[in-house]
């Protein structure tokens, strides 16, 4: 049986994250959005608490806890402010991806300083469900391999000291670590992103960047269990953040509806409002349970663990709930005096920040053996990954 009650340790951790989100993230949300980055004092405080690395192995500087615990924390941080939750956890998210691929390793050396995982996948990937079409390619050259390509607007790319970038090497995939100042790397900052502005968005262009042997972190295929595990963990992290964003919008709209008066009574007493808020609550709860289930499966070795389904559902729930929260507030919902307009923008940006929606839908279908006909291998789908639990 699955327990829907966190353990005492998880409850304490969630409470710590909630207090930090309420007392530190929410008061700085608007200022960080205007500045395009978190205040340094807040970033330092976040690093000291270590909330972004809950599931990161201890050898990598994390707490080594479960993915369920990590999802609990990510939901609370995004409930405080999605933009700051993303911005403050970019390095830990990148390290978690590497740690799944390499296992236990020291966190020193090339992993110091701010870094970010970039995901250069073609939006409407024709290989989704059986492979990945990258927008970055390694090419042989007389002086060694060169990396060329581009990555669309990505959170964290503006300030990162180093990048983790997947790229195609023939039929295989390599994960590269590149310095942000390497020759041939060009950043194009986005001055007014739609949402998650505190995360410092930028486009990245790669023009024949020299790739030495030390730049290759890992090489394999997208079917390797280590790669699938890293991908599932990253997706569940974003899904939990979307749940936190949706919950924040739900709670604010619920409180507003209970206090706002119209025709001599709270607007929550009108069916049009109360039914809509109830549907919002159901959407949040369903999304959360799907995230928890995926995290629970990942902790027990299941590959894939349902990360595509959890992320797709959380994305839809966050957009629906945040949009309806704006409707509950009426004209006030579009004003910066209330945070729901920001949460709607953040939910939309978070939903498309990394993972292409079409690819997620194809992969979710493929996990059920229902891959569309254009996917390599036909409609049978790839099924569970070799080496992963069913």
pLDDT in tens, 280-291: 999 999 999 999
Long-range pairs of 23-27 with CB within 8 A, sequence gap ≥ 24: 24/80, 25/77, 25/80, 25/81, 25/84, 25/85, 26/80, 26/81
Q: What's the start-to-end Cα distance of the chain, in Å?
A: 16
Query: Where in the chain do CATH 1.10.540.10 domains reside?
Result: 8-109
Is 262 exposed, middle or buried (CB count within 10 Å of its CB: 0-12, 13-18, 19+)?
exposed
Handedness of CA 305, 387, 67, 161 (dihedral sign): negative
For residues 358 and 212, what is the distance between their CA atoms, to the nearest angstrom? 34
pTM: 0.94
Q: Report residue 249 CA to chain centroid gap.
A: 18
Q: What CATH number belongs to 115-220? A: 2.40.110.10
Residue numbers in the chain where pLDDT is lower than 50: 107, 374-383, 386-387, 389-390
Residue 270 DSSP class:
S
Please choose, from the candidates 374, 299, 369, the residue with its C-alpha nearest in 3D space to the C-alpha of residue 66. 299
**Superfamily designation of domain 8-109:** Acyl-CoA dehydrogenase/oxidase, N-terminal domain (1.10.540.10)
Question: Can you tell me the distance from the alpha carbon of 249 to that of 321, in angstroms, rounded to the nearest whole number?
Answer: 7
pLDDT at 43: 96
Contacts of 320 (CB under 8 A, 6+ apart): 280, 283
State the pLDDT at residue 206: 97
Q: Is the dihedral of CA 311, 312, 315, 316 positive or negative?
A: negative
Q: Can you give the pLDDT at residue 214?
A: 87
Measured in degrees and rounded to the nearest 5, phi and psi for residue 262 equal -150, 130
Please, what sign has the CA dihedral across residues 208, 214, 217, 219? positive
Q: What is the DSSP-derived secondary structure letter of residue 389?
A: B
What pLDDT is recorded for position 356?
84
Tell me what pLDDT residue 331 has: 95
- CA-CA distance, 203 to 198, in Å (whole number)? 15
Q: What is the location of CATH 2.40.110.10 in the chain?
A: 115-220
Do 156 and 92 meet the contact criterion of CB atoms below 8 Å apart? Answer: no
Label the pairing between strands 115-117 and 162-169. Answer: parallel
Q: Does domain 225-380 have CATH number 3.50.50.60?
A: no
- For CA atoms 165, 166, 170, 172, the dihedral sign is positive
DSSP codes joined into one string, 68-125: HHHHHHHHHHHHH-HHHHHHHTHHHHHHHHHHHHH-S--S-GGG-S-EEE---B-TT-
């Amino acid at each position: 049986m699955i327990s829907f009650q966190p353990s005492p340790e998880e409850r304490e951790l969630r409470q710590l994250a909630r207090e930090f989100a309420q007392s530190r993230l929410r008061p700085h949300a608007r200022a960080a959005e205007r500045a395009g980055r978190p205040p340094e004092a807040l970033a330092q405080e976040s690093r000291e608490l270590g909330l972004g690395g809950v599931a990161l192995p201890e050898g990598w500087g994390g707490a080594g806890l479960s993915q369920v615990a990590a999802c609990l924390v990510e939901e609370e941080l995004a409930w405080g402010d999605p933009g700051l939750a993303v911005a403050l956890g970019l390095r830990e998210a990148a390290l978690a991806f590497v740690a799944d691929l390499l296992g236990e390793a020291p966190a020193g050396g090339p992993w110091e300083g701010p870094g970010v995982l970039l995901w250069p996948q073609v939006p409407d990937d024709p290989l989704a469900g059986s492979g990945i079409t990258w927008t970055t390619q390694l090419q042989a050259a007389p002086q060694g391999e060169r990396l060329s390509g581009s990555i669309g607007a990505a959170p964290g790319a503006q300030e990162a000291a180093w990048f983790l970038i997947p790229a195609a090497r023939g039929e295989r995939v390599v994960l590269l670590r590149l310095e942000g100042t390497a020759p041939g790397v060009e950043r194009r900052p986005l001055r007014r992103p739609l949402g998650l502005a505190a995360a410092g968005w930028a486009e990245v262009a790669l023009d024949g960047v020299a790739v030495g042997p030390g730049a290759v972190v890992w090489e394999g295929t997208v079917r390797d269990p280590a790669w699938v595990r890293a991908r599932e963990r990253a997706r569940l992290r974003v899904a939990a953040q979307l749940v936190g964003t949706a919950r924040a919008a739900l709670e604010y709209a619920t409180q507003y509806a209970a206090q706002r008066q119209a025709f001599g009574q709270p607007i929550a007493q009108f069916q049009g409002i109360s039914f809509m808020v109830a549907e919002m609550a159901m959407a949040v709860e369903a999304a959360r349970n799907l995230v928890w289930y995926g995290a629970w499966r990942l902790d027990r070795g299941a590959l894939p663990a349902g990360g595509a389904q959890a992320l797709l559902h959380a994305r839809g729930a966050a957009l629906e709930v945040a949009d309806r929260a704006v409707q509950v507030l009426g004209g006030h919902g579009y004003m910066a005096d209330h945070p729901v307009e920001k949460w709607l923008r953040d939910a939309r940006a978070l939903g498309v920040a990394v993972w292409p929606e079409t690819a997620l839908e194809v992969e979710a279908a493929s996990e059920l053996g229902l891959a569309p006909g254009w996917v390599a291998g036909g409609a049978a789908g790839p099924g569970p990954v070799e080496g992963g639990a069913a």
